[in-house]
Amino acid sequence: GTGSTWSSHSLYIGGSNLAAGGVGVVTLNTGGKIDLTGPMVVWGNSGTAFNLAGGTLNVTGTTAISAGGLLNATNGRNALAPP
């Protein structure tokens, strides 16, 4: 919710650290914040997506978007580490 911060080492959407699994969707809205010190992976399952609809996304680890996965940024701020 508004004013919430989620801090974690990693985020795997639509799978695990090893492989794709099912469909997953994460949406970050205005006032929210996600801080990741490790990798963020959006696996390539149809319908799998990270939606930046507001708020702040900080990833200091690697960011990987597999073919078929989506990173939709319609609003908000992001700081993604280079690959």
DSSP string for 31-73: T-EEEESS-EEE---TT-EEEEEEEEEEE-S-EEE-TT-EEEE
Full-model pTM: 0.91
What does pLDDT average to over the chain?
Answer: 94
Q: Per-residue pLDDT for 13 more than 90?
A: yes
**pLDDT tens-digit series, residues 22-40:** 999 999 999 999 999 999 9
**pLDDT tens-digit series, residues 60-74:** 999 999 999 999 999
